[in-house]
Amino acid sequence: MKSFKTLLAGLALAALVLPGAAEAAYKAEYKLSTVLGKPFPWGIGGDRWAELVKEKTGGRITVKMYPGTSLVNGDQTKEFTALRQGVIDMAVGSTINWSPQVKELNLFSLPFLMPDYAAIDALTQGPVGKQLFDLLATKDVVPLAWGENGFRELSNSKRPVRTPDDLKGLKVRVVGSPLFLDTFTALGANPTQMSWADAQPALSTGAVDGQENPLSVFVAAKLPTLAQKNLTLWGYVADPLIFVVNKEVWESWSKEDQEGVRAAALQAAQEQIALARKGIAGGDDSVLKDIQAQGVEVVKLTPEQQKAFQTATRPVFDKWAKTIGPDLVKTAEDSIAKRK
């Protein structure tokens, strides 16, 4: 009996002094999903988060990144559902890709809502961002930080696009969102829905004429080599990213490790946003110069030209504002109006 009591006491002591002993339920490795891997800023941000998590939790939490939404066979629109179900432990996800399950995230895809980077920040770092995080927290996930994929610009293989008429008949690859289908249909284009993995060969063969993506993607994916020789800077929508953890996974971690993961997400997100804007924002146009050096014709819309696109897509904006929620849209518009 004495030896048994001694054994129990020893085990209790071990649980107190051995690092990680109290977290016996921790997984050996956690799965982090992203759409894009390195060298895209999105993938670099995910990789950095994994690195910082290990550092800030003293190695108790090890994360492996799975780019290409490979955990859901490349179907970007299924990522959020898989995250809720626990198939995915963590993600750096796109507001666009998750909008089919969380309609309020369509806010960022309302055409021409956000005129500049300060407007994105006014939304993600203000009352809109908090409201959306509160909403996501009711859906089996814990949102931690806002990242950024960037403003989505238009490219194609056929002709420069300066007016809505120039888009007529163009086959444009879009993400799996009904709002994007509505927007490009309103402009007279022929939107074609497909994953990014399928989009690149489709551009190469001419199965689709064009696509819309941030400039960081345009460069890293080497789209000029896929016949994308016409680029229009119209900044019609932007694509914030969200660093999240599955709620059950989050609750399995100690408070100390939760704070470590949160701090890692905030730091990785900040670094990722800076990288996504490098050479594009703040008076630095080095990325554009590199693109032009590859023989791409870059069209910068005048305010009047942009207004024509805005007018053509206003019925889409009004229709989707009702779906997203008029109060949320109003809060967003007010936040943008007050931006610094």
CB 119 within 8 A of CB 339: yes
What's the average model confidence in pLDDT over 226-239? 96
Report the distance separating Cα 91 and Cα 148, nearest Å.
Answer: 13
Q: What pLDDT score does 340 carry?
A: 79
Interatomic CA distance for residues 9 and 14, integer angstroms: 9
* Residue 209 CB neighbours (<10 A): 24
Judge whether residue 169 has pLDDT over 90.
yes
Task: For residue 258, give Cα distances in angstroms to 173, 265, 296.
Answer: 39, 11, 46
Distance CA 223, CA 225 (A): 5
pLDDT at 19 over 60: no
CATH architecture of the domain with residue range 153-237+282-337: 3-Layer(aba) Sandwich (3.40)
Chain-centre distance for alpha carbon 310: 23
pLDDT at 300: 95
Rounded Cα distance between 178 and 81, Å, is 18
pLDDT at 5 over 70: no
Q: Two tokens at 243?
A: 């660093």
Higher pLDDT, 18 or 53: 53
Structure-token pair, residue 235: 């900044």
Instruction: Give the pLDDT of residue 7.
Output: 46
Domain 27-149+240-277 and domain 153-237+282-337, same fold? Reply is yes
Alpha-carbon gap, residue 64 to 70, rounded angstroms: 12
228 or 195, which is more confident? 228
Average of per-residue pLDDT values in the chain:
93
State mean pLDDT over 263-288.
95
Provide the residue type at 53 as one letter: V
Is the pTM higher than 0.85? The answer reads: yes
Q: b or e along 320-330 (b: 16 or more beta carbons within 10 Å of the residue's beta carbon)?
A: bbeebbeebbe
- Prior bond to 39 cis, omega within 30? yes
Segment 90-116 shows an average pLDDT of 97
Q: What is the pLDDT at residue 21? A: 40
Distance CA 154, CA 160 (A): 10
* Residue ranges of E strands in the chain: 30-33, 63-66, 90-94, 141-151, 153-156, 171-174, 190-193, 210-213, 230-233, 238-246, 297-300
- Model confidence band, residue 17 (pLDDT cutoffs 50, 70, 90): very low
- Check if the beta carbon of residue 327 is closer than 8 Å to that of residue 189: no
Residue type, 33: S
Cα separation, 263 vs 46, in Å, equals 14
State yes or no: pLDDT of 329 exceeds 60.
yes
Domain at 27-149+240-277, CATH from 3.40.190.170, 3.40.50.80, 3.20.20.80, 3.40.50.2000: 3.40.190.170
DSSP three-state, residue 54: helix
Of 107, 99, 102, nearest to 327 (Cα)? 107
Q: Quick one: pLDDT at residue 2?
A: 47
pLDDT in tens, 111-163: 999 999 999 999 999 999 999 999 999 999 999 999 999 999 999 999 999 99
Q: pLDDT confidence of 14, banded at 50, 70, 90? A: very low
pLDDT of residue 25: 87
Of 18-27, 50-59, 80-89, 262-271, the range with the lowest mean pLDDT is 18-27
The answer to whether 49 and 146 have CB atoms below 8 angstroms apart is no
Which pLDDT value is given to residue 122? 98
For 41-90, how does the pLDDT look when each residue is reduced to its tens digit (9 = 90+)? 999 999 999 999 999 999 999 999 999 999 999 999 999 999 999 999 99
Q: pLDDT above 90 covers what percent of the chain?
A: 89
Domain ranges for the chain, please list them.
27-149+240-277, 153-237+282-337
The candidate with the shortest Cα–Cα distance to 120, out of 93, 91, 95, is 95
Is 4's pLDDT higher than 60? no
Q: What is the pLDDT at residue 172?
A: 98
Q: Residue 16 pLDDT more than 90?
A: no
